[in-house]
Amino acid sequence: MKPTEKFRKMPTDRFPFDHGQLHRVLDDEREALSEWLEENAPYCAREEAHQNEGSRERAYWHLGYKEALNDIVAALERQGK
């Protein structure tokens, strides 16, 4: 599966319950994102436009970060059940 396809299918319920499995999934996601960024937007690491106060890029960075935290919290909550 291409990273772009993977990112379109990220429901939180796909995370496994086991801590080790969750760690591997997060590592895989991080690696896939790194590959996608390198292939599609290598300038992002240099520009760091998300650092500019009030920029659209900063808003999207925070939105993406919030969604990632939501996914992790949901996975941990299911793990505790």
pLDDT digits (tens, 9 = 90+) for 33-61: 999 999 999 999 899 999 999 999 999 99
| Amino acid at site 65 | Y
**DSSP codes, 23-51:** HHHHHHHHHHHHHHHHHH-THHHHH-GGG
- This prediction's pTM: 0.64
Mean pLDDT, the chain, rounded, equals 81
Which of helix, strand or coil describes residue 11?
Answer: coil
**Quick count: other Cβ atoms within 10 Å of Cβ 64?**
12
Per-range mean pLDDT, top range of 15-19, 24-28, 64-68, 75-79:
64-68
SS3 for 15? coil
Is residue 67 very low, low, confident or very high in pLDDT (cuts 50, 70, 90)?
very high
